[in-house]
Amino acid sequence: MSRDKSGRTLEDVVGRILQMFDPKSSVTRREKIVNRLGIEREFDVVIRGKFAGQPVLVVIECKDWSDRVGTPEIDAFITKTRDINAHLKFIVSSKGFTEPALAQAKDAGVGTFSLLLDDPNTVGFDKGVFWYARSYTWERQAQIHFAGKAPRPGSYSANQAFYGNAPILNVFDKELSTTYVNTKESVPITLRAVFHPNAQVVIGGETFLVSEIKVRAERHMATKRRFMPITGDGLYNWQTKCPDVPETGSVRIHGFNPNLPDWEDYSGDIPETGPYQLVVDRYWGSINLEVEKIPDIPGLNIECILG
């Protein structure tokens, strides 16, 4: 939204969006209302409508400033609205509010809002909601049992045992990435395969016979979160920390990537979510099936054991 030193741009947009909540309401700008003492007080935006058949008066002060609104402005607005019998009183600030101002406004029943912006890249953009995620990953350990000659202890890692042109453990990682990918329980599982006949694997250029492989896998869950900027037709409510959007308005949420590349670690319980918030469950496998090669082992049977 472009700025205008007179403040009329902010007032016009606020009036348009608030009228979308009640299309039958009337909106005026810079209206003077006479209080019970006979004193005229001017308000940036005034909305008149009806609720349950009764008239409703809403008065709004707009602060298109480069700084946050503080307690002096809240004090002044409380005084200004004291004797006009307004049913709802709002302050809309381009840059938000200080914490003391929010506390004071809440105590006085003054709504505190900011416009949702048109561009999430706007400098200082801070209007949106947190999304949370539960990220489930596998941690696994493998035991390879050899028939006859075995490699020297510590001379190789399990992923260096090749069957054909791929690590033999990839067949187990494929199971963890397909059959058991949606597992969320923390109880470990053991995948076991007995080879009849023994499987020939190559380790460091030398051939060995494998009789059995056990892979013990355990699910670990990490909680993450990311701030999702929101743009569109609506107001950001600083008291609820959520946007208020009319039924005919449209909003856009920015920044979601299903791979959670830039989500921060979050400790504690996931709080109760509100409008436009999501809790994402992301189940990770143990291998990238689009990249890694999977050995084709005839007659392979993989048994799953719980615990």
The whole model's pTM is what?
0.78
Which neighbouring-strand residues pair with 61?
91
220, containing H or E segment: strand 206-232
Spatial separation of the C-alpha atoms in residues 44 and 263, rounded to whole Å: 40
Please identify, among 115, 144, 170, the residue that sits at the C-terminal boundary of a domain. 115
DSSP result, 66-112: SS-B-HHHHHHHHHHTTTS--SEEEEEESS-B-HHHHHHHHHHTEEE
Say which CATH number the domain at 18 has: 3.40.1350.10
Q: Which amino acid is at 179?
A: T
Which ranges constitute the DSSP H helices of 109-258?
170-177
164 and 301 co-located in one domain: yes
Please identify, among 53, 86, 115, the residue that sits at the C-terminal boundary of a domain. 115
185 and 290 co-located in one domain: yes
- The answer to whether residue 271 sits within a structural domain is no
Q: Which amino acid is at 199?
A: A
186 and 301 co-located in one domain: yes
- The answer to whether residue 2 sits within a structural domain is no
Read off φ and ψ for residue 133, nearest 5 degrees: -145, 145
pLDDT tens string, the chain, 307 residues long: the values are 444 434 468 899 999 998 898 888 999 999 999 988 888 999 999 999 887 788 899 999 999 998 999 999 999 999 999 889 899 999 999 889 999 999 999 999 999 999 988 776 665 557 889 999 999 999 999 999 999 999 988 888 989 999 999 999 999 999 999 999 999 998 999 999 999 999 999 999 999 999 999 999 999 999 999 999 899 889 999 998 889 999 888 889 998 999 999 999 999 899 998 888 999 999 999 999 999 999 999 999 999 999 7
Q: State the DSSP code for 69.
A: B
Check residue 102 and give its pLDDT: 97
Domain span at 180: 134-221+285-306
**Sequence-distant (≥ 6) Cβ neighbours of residue 33 within 8 angstroms:** 40, 41, 42, 43, 46, 59, 84
- The answer to whether residue 127 sits within a structural domain is no
195 and 293 co-located in one domain: yes
CB 228 within 8 A of CB 132: no
- The answer to whether residue 270 sits within a structural domain is no
- The answer to whether residue 252 sits within a structural domain is no
- The answer to whether residue 275 sits within a structural domain is no
What are the CA-CA distances from residue 228 to residues 97, 120, 221, 303 (Å)? Answer: 20, 9, 22, 43
Phi-psi region of 299 (alpha: psi -120 to 50; beta: other; left: phi over 0): left
- The answer to whether residue 280 sits within a structural domain is no
Please identify, among 81, 115, 149, the residue that sits at the C-terminal boundary of a domain. 115
299 and 151 co-located in one domain: yes
CB 166 within 8 A of CB 293: yes
Q: Of 211, 202, 216, which is closest to residue 156 (Cα–Cα)?
A: 202
- The answer to whether residue 124 sits within a structural domain is no
CB 226 within 8 A of CB 105: no
Q: Which amino acid is at 211?
A: S
| Peptide linkage before 197 cis (omega within 30 of 0) | yes
Check residue 173 and give its pLDDT: 97
Check residue 82 and give its pLDDT: 87
Check residue 125 and give its pLDDT: 55
Check residue 51 and give its pLDDT: 79
Give the count of domains, the chain: 2
